[in-house]
Chain A
Amino acid sequence: AQSVTQPDIHITVSEGASLELRCNYSYGATPYLFWYVQSPGQGLQLLLKYFSGDTLVQGIKGFEAEFKRSQSSFNLRKPSVHWSDAAEYFCAVGDMEYGNKLVFGAGTILRVKS
């Protein structure tokens, strides 16, 4: 069965600093990978997704992620963090074998200090 691991429960970065959130997945076939963001009291919003093709994926709000098959990773990056980026970030893998099912990681809470 597929699974997603986000090793960091909390990360704190200074405003303007770069950010990398880690995500590792376990999946037998070509994965469909997603990053979602959840602001306090809100639902989840899609940041970006990878289905195939270019392994560097650009998303909204200046985020990007790189798919590395050899490392089973899909890390999320941003070159310069803004205070408004403080939120919880979820990595997910989609399982086409079971239709449209997503399995989520536990999430990483990002704190931004000024």
Chain B
Amino acid sequence: DAGVIQSPRHEVTEMGQEVTLRCKPISGHDYLFWYRQTMMRGLELLIYFNNNVPIDDSGMPEDRFSAKMPNASFSTLKIQPSEPRDSAVYFCASSLLSGRMTDTQYFGPGTRLTVL
């Protein structure tokens, strides 16, 4: 398996522009997570999906952020409009829940976003 795939790996944009980050989870996984990593706040869970349905979006910073999962093999995280404080590394992860056990989350390589 190719693992979790994220694109782009790097994104540089100007304040006010729309940014779309993409994620392809591991085939067969039924959970998908979006995290943000910054020096100040560490790793934060933004939102997660189960079977393409958003379950918990309490970590989404504000209305400028939105996430979708139109099918089991694709998810997007959109920021509109972007601001310099959104600069961070954004990770996507996927996992397969086995019974009641929290199974391993597999992380993608991340997208490093810089907003000028």
Contacts and interface: CB of A to CB of B under 8 A. Distances in A.
Q: Is the A/B pair a real complex?
A: yes
A43 B104 contact: no
A32 B98 CA distance: 14
A93 B109 CA distance: 21
Interface residues of A, number: 25
Given A44-B91, A100-B31, A106 B42 contact: yes
B102 A43 contact: no
A43 B56 contact: no
Interface string B15-53: 000000000000000010100000000110100101000
A102 to B, nearest CB: 6
Contacts of B104: 34, 46, 49
Contacts of A100: 31, 33, 48, 50, 95, 97, 102-103, 105
Contacts of B43: 90, 104, 107
B55 interface: yes
A43 B42 contact: no
Interface of B: 4, 31, 33, 42-43, 45, 48, 50, 55-56, 91, 93, 95, 97, 100-110
Given A32-B101, A42-B109, A43-B110, 8 more contacts: A43-B4, A43-B108, A46-B104, A95-B102, A96-B101, A99-B56, A99-B97, A100-B95
10 contacts: A32-B101, A44-B93, A46-B106, A100-B31, A100-B48, A100-B97, A100-B102, A100-B103, A102-B45, A107-B43
